[in-house]
Structure 1
Amino acid sequence: MRTPAKAAGLAPAMEWRDLERADEIVVVSAPSSWTDARVEAWLDWAGEIQPKAPLGGGPACYADRIAQIGLTRGLFGDKADASAFREALLATMLSGVATPAGGQTGLTLLPDVGEFEFESAVKGALGQRRARILAAQAAARLDAALAQVADAVRRCSGDPRACGDVRKNPALARAARKARELGADDRTILDAIATADAPRPPLTEPGSEREAPMIASASRQGVSAGDEAATLAAQVGWETSALTLALSPTDADLLSRGVGVSAAIDASAFLDDDGFDIERFTYVCHLWGTALELERDERPARLGLAGVGDCLLSQGLSQTSVEGRDAAAALWALAVGAALSASAEAAAALGQDETFAQDRQGVLKTLAERRVRAAALRSDLATEAAAALATAHALARKHGLRSTALVGPFEDAEASLRLGGAPVGAAGAISPVSVTQTADGWLLPAFSPAAFEALSTEGVDLDAARRHALGHGSLLDSPAIDHVMLQTRGFTAHEIEKAENALREHQGLRAAFAPAIVGAGFLRDVLGASAEDVARHDFDTLAFADFSPTEIATAERHALGAGTLGDCETLNPELREAFRSVEAPTFADRLAMLVAVEAFACLPTAVAVPVAFDSRPADAVRAQAAAARAGVRALRLHRATAPADFKLDLPEEPAAEPARAAPLLDKIGREPVVTERVVEKIVERDRSRRRLPDRRKGYIQKAAVGGHKVYLHTGEYEDGELGELFIDMHKEGAAFRSLMNNFAIAVSLGLQHGVPLDEFVDAFVYTKFEPAGPVSGNDSIKSATSILDYIFRELGVSYLGRDDLANGDAGQFNADGLGWGKPLSEDEIDDVGPDPVLASKFISKGFSRGAAPDNLVFASFGRRRVEGAERPGSEGEMCPACGDLSLIRRGGLTVCDTCGAQSDRPGPVASS
């Protein structure tokens, strides 16, 4: 196998770098543009550091080892080929284009028995054993308490949600308090309530069995439908977060075998002024595919990509769009074709994989299907991706494949750090607002290369975008807290300068004005803060200076910026969406991107499906089914940890009854016999109908609800209580009017049989159906949701005094309930007669809105006020016919000047 010389010029210019390690200062050679953190990540990976070697010598050792393996196993024809491969592989690592990933974790090796460290290790092991014994004893008591919690839920009959609520199930609350007293946290109690109906497994000794990662396969249809097996798998994943569910037996087998070695390639490193360098990208993928085939053992190797999201962002593509997902899928298809071509070339020298030999036709068919799907992608790389897969398919038919599964997305934080922060994954991207290191070691906020490329390509005002995302860097000209306002509150130019110098370093305005920066003496002597306040770690200088939280937030945004570009109004909507998809991706968007990528990847990715900590197993079943329907190849339920301050809202335990006093003894020392008598009072209401009088009072209210006229007629008893109602509609259909009339008859019968009016009001107010809307013609009710809502609002306001049902101004009515009437003059007020009559016999209580007092009376009919002494009969007696004081004597008869009645009884003599 001969390596083409296409790696020339990849290695950047190197410089000497002095790095301070934990116990020494090392001098290494590293690219000048790299940050110290990135160089230290390579040194951590290298392990043993070679002074003055490029990146500590780790990349060179790795390239030497891989080239020697290839030369030994006959993949390279001679040492020249092996040396060319080594140089090309080393150049990709020194340039930061690719990195090995996925290191193995070995067993813990104890020191020699004769050394002091051995005694410390053994004492630690004995302490752990003692802790396990004590934990087992406490766990037994705690498990019994949790069993009582579950039993309190199972024994409860009624609404299942109420049975599982500690506020509504007293037995559950008592059991939960007992479990809490024994040391159970509220998350564990909540789990016991949620799994009350599930069988409880036997308690094992803590530490005897670990929650090791597990894998199981299931059919996609079964998981989507939620059958019994899928439900059980969801419950296991909900409890342990350690079960990976593969949706095909092939993927289950691949995940169960694990991955021996991995490598990651930064796809964003192949972007240049001319676009994406396809030739160099496929060459690097082919190179690292060969390296992984040489390094791997019986387990599969895995090649992943980083910075795919940066490639999309630099082109202005959103990860939530179909075009963005197709572009990412085309990039992964290109990598798969190049890597599998390397695997086929390695198979020609090293032999085929047994898996390929057993399922040759199936693997070739899958490659052909991927080629067809790649050609249909809406991406500029679709043609090249289909060609790369076609090449891999032809080589696989000729030589076979060394690995049937070689490329797949994965996550590795250490590998991302070695690649300059480019996240490894399906569509990882650096945050558009990141940091850069200056020559003197300062870290300053700046746009990521992909973000800068996207802004420049779209012709965006970079200064406006920079002010929005990164801020002005100073409080000068701030709209909320500027230098002038600070000076008026007592700050001098010296304190303001120190605070602004600390703005970027402390990442916050409050931290920049902390006492350690502006000076504790200044806060005490000038601002008047006490020594105790200044000593507090959470002392807020700006709040103490009477700046509001809104002013502080506005000033901080002016100085430090928003930190995002997805909400920048100067960008076009498509570009804002592209930045938003990187800055705040939703789980659904990330799932859709992973499904698009896995259509071409060889290895599946167990996507972590988030589940809330207070969820129930049924919620986990639904989340698992939704992920399966989305099209993922494998999933793992990941239940969130409960917050540190999570507490169940347990009701207070009822106070114990006070101790009963000692019983009194009788004269011979015996305790008196106390017998209990049960007194039962039965109140029976008369169920006979109370009929209305034939001549009854009431009122008629005309109104319009939503433009439909309604006439409400009421009939009252003599005491003013409502006894009947009639509802008439104007220009409505015969069926609707008949229903309303019969409904009114039913309500009237209920009222006459003793049903309280407030029961009808509570039952029918707020009912919703057409017609509905504004109400006209009623001075108290201005809107209603239906005809019934309006009618029973009116009855409630008029007869029950329910002013809460009115939405008008009830204060427009005076005491007599008849509107704005002028008060009676002194001459118009009648004297109260000897036999007053209650006004309720003549005035409708509903019409008066209940405002007429109960003691309001009317004088006798026919009385008139005596206007003067000269009036005839002013000194007369009361007429028995009309009751007026106008009975006088005329001759032998007494005559009433008012009604003309005559009698022969003596009366007063009329004056002449």
Structure 2
Amino acid sequence: MRPYAHPGRVESHVRDLVSTHAGISDLETPMRPSAKAAGLVPAMEWRDLERADSVQVVSAPSSWSDARVEAWLDWGGEIEPKAPLGGGPARYAARVAQLGLSRGLFGDKADADAFREALLTTMLTGIATPTSGQTGLRLLPDITEFEFQSQARDILGQRRARLLAAQAAARLNTALDQVADAVRRCSGDSRACSDVRKNPALARAARKARELGADDQTILDAIALADQPRAPLTALAVDDELPLVAAATRQAVAAGDEAATLAAQVGWETSALTLALSPTDAEALSRGAAIGAAIDASTFLDAEGFDIERFTFVCHLWATALELDRGERPARLSLAGVGDCLLSQGYAQTSIEGRDGAAALWALAVGAALSASAEAAATLGQDPAFDQDRQGVLKTLAERRVRAAALRSALATEAAAALATAHALARKHGLRSAGLVGPFADLEATLRLGGSPVGAAGAMAPVSVSQTADGFLMPSFSAAAFEALSSEGVDLDAARRHALGHGSLAESPAIDHAMLQARGFTAHEIEKAENALREHQGVRAAFAPAIVGAGFLRDVLGASAEDVARRDFDTLAFADFSAAEIAAAERHALGAGTLGDCEALNPDLREAFRSVEAPSFNDRLAMLAAVESFACLPTAVTVSIPHDARPADAVRAQAAAARAGVRALRLQRAPTPYDFKLDLPEEPTAEAPRPAPAREPLVTERVVERIVERDRSRRRLPDRRKGYIQKAAVGGHKVYLHTGEYEDGELGELFIDMHKEGAAFRSLMNNFAIAVSLGLQHGVPLDEFVDAFVYTKFEPAGPVTGNDSIKSATSILDYIFRELGVSYLGRDDLANGDPGQFNADGLGAGKRLAEDDLLDDEADPVPASRFISKGFSRGATPDNLVFASFGHRRVEGADRPGADGEMCPACGDLSLVRRGGMTVCDTCGAQSERPGPVAST
């Protein structure tokens, strides 16, 4: 494994640095930074980038991806055309250099220009970037104090109240919106639409709102403001307070005592409490919003090894920049790509060598950064926190120097020397920032550094993607992974086939071209799938209907149109390929995507890759504890717990993290899955009551409401169906209404034909009838349609002719659904027999018929052929079948033979009278010798 290089040269550099600092201590000749020490600016090229509103032409390194360049443009703000990275890095470097010159940190303008050039070079080479830093947390008392317990219980109570209020407000908002929507959807008279007694939909919505807790005045206000935008009810946000931090002792948290249990409950409920395991760390985390910077440590690896001299210079440079730029804010300096440095040398992060190597690298950065902070303190003044705890800070630096010398790493000597230098300068000049270096994370900075993760031991994924000169993204090995494979003499072709695949299905052991052709695929579809294989990142996606063609799937493979239209349609599974075959083909074509399970690698190298690709939580805690033993600032490690975990599980997870040696931790519950649902058992049936003593039955009337749950599937009509055709004219416009019925007589479809209307209007009416028919066949009750469309007003409207029940209508739809309501629902209230009563609501009082006209006893029987289709029955109905007119109530006092007689066995009428010795029916004339009652005269 390749060690760090040039220890002797670095020792001399550190000695020179100490002597230089001694000269700076007299404030006579400040050190002039060298731009050459920052590296060489890479070759630039013009890059056309499509932004949200324009196309920007900027100068950027040719090896950078578009995403990386855009990340710098987003950070820089205003974009200067054709300026390197939009001009943001140049403006930042010039501003910081000017601050140093104005505050006397630089001797003259030449020193400031040299600092500016060096700072700009580190950004243009991509080895360092400013960051947004961290946001300060709200500090709570120590968890062992009584004040913490009181505040913690208040926080829990307020959060629970806000959570319940937010849920209630959301439900009530929905209910009140439905109230207003019921008014807006009504097309009748405005007063009737706002009346809960006349608008059934409004009544249902109002009842639901009342059940959810809305008072009647609130419901009335929602009805009155239905036509205006309604401001929703709002509840306080559940987690609107700042994230919290509290100090705790490691022993209390590791033991899980009463105070730690309460802290765990706060973290379990809010996911917003950070426990710092020392008062100093809690105070550091509670400071205000910070500025920061990140340095990519992996860029200092070259053919000769790790360039320690240049690394310490860049750390010193950026620590100086942060001290100048921060003002009264705290500053944070972090490292990126530490894990890539370890991987390039073949070290696993789970090994002692790997953890000591990362710790030594951080110790070296701390020494260089604190040396710069001491130099800045000589001119700009000391940090008040350093003045308050001067001896403690110096003692901590001395202890770190001793621990650094004992590390099993090639950097141990250099790290100890750098910390010794920082200790000497801090003792003489103090520190501008007592806490300057910490392993915080920043995703935006990671993108600006080309994907090197910022943090304790962040490393790029060994199998990642790179952008070609044509702008395409191709899978490839990361630079650290390629260096590790090359230095160990691994068969690169074998590793590439394992991780990246063959790029084709040509020789796949599971699904190759021959097997695809045997299943019906032609060379044309196979070629299209092969071209899309890399772009769509998956074999299933490469054979999607949009790629191989929906027509091919329907015509050749026999898939239905409904199947092809599904978004989750799996072409290969439809072609009878098993899931195991598809997975094997995908692994052959696209590779495993990992190197930790590659048999071509030796065990140590496999473990190194596995520690990056799938690190365990305990391994990450151990690495973080090793790094934080030298860092100035802690980072709150996130301890994830399942969404269904209990507070006791949170206490155990919190204690395990504290025992691992971290300096701060934060519990975070996983979000609840969207489809989560409690599996509640069915309510047990109650024991059958004992039978009561038998009593005389009491006959009472009661209303029985039956709730019928309808299936959402379509109920199709029979091929030969009943129905009727109603011809009428509304306002002089003819309308033909055709209905179709199920076997039980329920309405299942309707057709609406207009006479001499425009093609557009007729088509709209026809399609409206189809929509209503589909709703009826899917279970929508007819009364819902009737309530929705009666009283609608639009032309044509007016008197109705040709219908014996409807005499006036306010629109075509009003007439149609009045007719359906009268014919199928028995809604006689929708009938209007008097055309003279036509008004705005279309209702008429009707004309009361005279009793003599209503009770006509002499009505002739009506042939059944008037109501039953002879074609539909196909001769099954006798020709002599009639509907007899009997059973009408007589007018009181009317003279009718047989009014008090018996029923005639021949015709069924109550007209059997006795005449002499015979009984004769006055209706049908049938005679019988059976004695009958005497007719009254």
TM range (shorter): 0.5 to 0.7
- Contact 1:469–1:563, Cα closer than 8 Å, also in 2: yes
Picking from 546, 553, 556, the partner of 1:516 is: 546
Q: Which residue of 2 aligns with 1:16?
A: 46
How far is 1:363 from its partner? Answer: 1.1
- Contact 1:100–1:263, Cα closer than 8 Å, also in 2: yes
**Are the structure 2 counterparts of residues 667 and 495 from structure 1 closer, same or farther at C-alpha, using a change threshold of 3 Å?**
closer
Picking from 80, 83, 102, the partner of 1:72 is: 102
The correspondence of residues 288-307 of structure 1 with structure 2, limited to 5 A, is 288-307=318-337
How far is 1:365 from its partner? Answer: 1.0
Task: Supply the distance in 2 between the matched residues of 1:604 and 1:296 (Cα, whole angstroms).
Answer: 19
**Are the structure 2 counterparts of residues 14 and 492 from structure 1 closer, same or farther at C-alpha, using a change threshold of 3 Å?**
same
User: In the alignment, residue 287 of structure 1 is paired with which amino acid?
Assistant: L
Helix, strand or coil at the partner of 2:640 = strand
The correspondence of residues 421-820 of structure 1 with structure 2, limited to 5 A, is 421-655=451-685, 664-665=694-695
How far is 1:217 from its partner? Answer: 0.5
How far is 1:297 from its partner? Answer: 2.8
User: In the alignment, residue 560 of structure 1 is paired with which amino acid?
Assistant: L
How far is 1:41 from its partner? Answer: 0.4
Q: Which residue of 2 aligns with 1:221?
A: 251
Task: Supply the distance in 2 between the matched residues of 1:104 and 1:406 (Cα, whole angstroms).
Answer: 12
How far is 1:211 from its partner? Answer: 4.0
**Are the structure 2 counterparts of residues 141 and 97 from structure 1 closer, same or farther at C-alpha, using a change threshold of 3 Å?**
closer
- Check if 1:400 corresponds to 2:456: no
User: In the alignment, residue 650 of structure 1 is paired with which amino acid?
Assistant: L
**Are the structure 2 counterparts of residues 82 and 664 from structure 1 closer, same or farther at C-alpha, using a change threshold of 3 Å?**
same
- Check if 1:3 corresponds to 2:29: no
Q: Which residue of 2 aligns with 1:312?
A: 342
Task: Supply the distance in 2 between the matched residues of 1:395 and 1:243 (Cα, whole angstroms).
Answer: 37
Picking from 68, 78, 83, the partner of 1:53 is: 83
Task: Supply the distance in 2 between the matched residues of 1:293 and 1:414 (Cα, whole angstroms).
Answer: 22
Q: Which residue of 2 aligns with 1:30?
A: 60
- Contact 1:565–1:576, Cα closer than 8 Å, also in 2: yes
**Are the structure 2 counterparts of residues 104 and 623 from structure 1 closer, same or farther at C-alpha, using a change threshold of 3 Å?**
closer
How far is 1:663 from its partner? Answer: 5.8
User: In the alignment, residue 628 of structure 2 is paired with which amino acid?
Assistant: E
Farther off after superposition, 305-314 or 360-369: 360-369
Task: Supply the distance in 1 between the matched residues of 2:466 and 2:410 (Cα, whole angstroms).
Answer: 31
TM-score (norm 2): 0.61
The correspondence of residues 287-436 of structure 1 with structure 2, limited to 5 A, is 287-436=317-466
Deviation sequence 1:436-472 (CA, Å, 0-9, x none): 1110001000000000000000000000000000000
Deviation sequence 1:396-436 (CA, Å, 0-9, x none): 12211111110000111000000000000000000000001
Task: Supply the distance in 1 between the matched residues of 2:52 and 2:371 (Cα, whole angstroms).
Answer: 44
- Contact 1:101–1:264, Cα closer than 8 Å, also in 2: yes
How far is 1:619 from its partner? Answer: 1.1
Q: Which residue of 2 aligns with 1:43?
A: 73
Task: Supply the distance in 2 between the matched residues of 1:581 and 1:318 (Cα, whole angstroms).
Answer: 6
Q: Which residue of 2 aligns with 1:212?
A: 242
- Contact 1:7–1:91, Cα closer than 8 Å, also in 2: no
Task: Supply the distance in 2 between the matched residues of 1:590 and 1:263 (Cα, whole angstroms).
Answer: 23
Q: Which residue of 2 aligns with 1:279?
A: 309
TM-score (norm 1): 0.62
Helix, strand or coil at the partner of 1:505 = coil
Helix, strand or coil at the partner of 2:359 = helix
Helix, strand or coil at the partner of 2:681 = coil
Q: Which residue of 2 aligns with 1:97?
A: 127
- Contact 2:133–2:332, Cα closer than 8 Å, also in 1: no
Helix, strand or coil at the partner of 1:479 = coil
Helix, strand or coil at the partner of 2:667 = strand
Task: Supply the distance in 1 between the matched residues of 2:691 and 2:454 (Cα, whole angstroms).
Answer: 77
- Contact 1:259–1:301, Cα closer than 8 Å, also in 2: no
Helix, strand or coil at the partner of 2:508 = coil
How far is 1:53 from its partner? Answer: 0.7
- Contact 1:211–1:240, Cα closer than 8 Å, also in 2: no
Task: Supply the distance in 2 between the matched residues of 1:656 and 1:222 (Cα, whole angstroms).
Answer: 51
Picking from 273, 298, 304, the partner of 1:243 is: 273
Structure 2 gap segments, 5+ residues each: 1-29, 137-161, 173-210, 214-233, 700-937
How far is 1:8 from its partner? Answer: 5.9
- Check if 1:88 corresponds to 2:88: no
Deviation sequence 1:677-700 (CA, Å, 0-9, x none): xxxxxxxxxxxxxxxxxxxxxxxx
Q: Which residue of 1 aligns with 2:187?
A: none
Task: Supply the distance in 1 between the matched residues of 2:38 and 2:281 (Cα, whole angstroms).
Answer: 39
User: In the alignment, residue 2 of structure 1 is paired with which amino acid?
Assistant: M
Task: Supply the distance in 2 between the matched residues of 1:35 and 1:607 (Cα, whole angstroms).
Answer: 31
Task: Supply the distance in 2 between the matched residues of 1:394 and 1:539 (Cα, whole angstroms).
Answer: 69
Deviating above 4 A after TM superposition, structure 1's stretches of 4 or more consecutive aligned residues are: 103-106, 132-137, 139-142, 655-663, 666-669
Helix, strand or coil at the partner of 2:328 = coil
Q: CA RMSD in A?
A: 2.6
Deviation sequence 1:762-807 (CA, Å, 0-9, x none): xxxxxxxxxxxxxxxxxxxxxxxxxxxxxxxxxxxxxxxxxxxxxx
**Are the structure 2 counterparts of residues 541 and 225 from structure 1 closer, same or farther at C-alpha, using a change threshold of 3 Å?**
same
- Contact 2:239–2:270, Cα closer than 8 Å, also in 1: no
How far is 1:654 from its partner? Answer: 3.4
Q: Which residue of 1 aligns with 2:864?
A: none
How far is 1:23 from its partner? Answer: 0.8
How far is 1:207 from its partner? Answer: 3.4
Picking from 147, 156, 168, the partner of 1:138 is: 168
Structure 1 gap segments, 5+ residues each: 107-131, 143-180, 184-203, 670-912
Deviation sequence 1:554-605 (CA, Å, 0-9, x none): 0110000000000001100000000000000111000000000000000111
Q: Which residue of 2 aligns with 1:192?
A: none
Helix, strand or coil at the partner of 1:371 = helix
How far is 1:298 from its partner? Answer: 2.3
User: In the alignment, residue 220 of structure 1 is paired with which amino acid?
Assistant: R
Deviation sequence 1:856-896 (CA, Å, 0-9, x none): xxxxxxxxxxxxxxxxxxxxxxxxxxxxxxxxxxxxxxxxx
**Are the structure 2 counterparts of residues 268 and 182 from structure 1 closer, same or farther at C-alpha, using a change threshold of 3 Å?**
farther
- Contact 1:211–1:242, Cα closer than 8 Å, also in 2: no
User: In the alignment, residue 390 of structure 1 is paired with which amino acid?
Assistant: A
How far is 1:47 from its partner? Answer: 1.4
The correspondence of residues 74-223 of structure 1 with structure 2, limited to 5 A, is 74-102=104-132, 135=165, 138=168, 206-207=236-237, 210-223=240-253
- Contact 1:514–1:540, Cα closer than 8 Å, also in 2: yes
**Are the structure 2 counterparts of residues 369 and 482 from structure 1 closer, same or farther at C-alpha, using a change threshold of 3 Å?**
same
Task: Supply the distance in 2 between the matched residues of 1:356 and 1:252 (Cα, whole angstroms).
Answer: 16
Q: Which residue of 1 aligns with 2:802?
A: none
Task: Supply the distance in 1 between the matched residues of 2:372 and 2:164 (Cα, whole angstroms).
Answer: 57
How far is 1:642 from its partner? Answer: 1.7
How far is 1:551 from its partner? Answer: 0.7
Farther off after superposition, 654-663 or 491-500: 654-663
Task: Supply the distance in 1 between the matched residues of 2:249 and 2:38 (Cα, whole angstroms).
Answer: 49
How far is 1:626 from its partner? Answer: 1.1
Task: Supply the distance in 2 between the matched residues of 1:293 and 1:27 (Cα, whole angstroms).
Answer: 34
**Are the structure 2 counterparts of residues 458 and 140 from structure 1 closer, same or farther at C-alpha, using a change threshold of 3 Å?**
closer
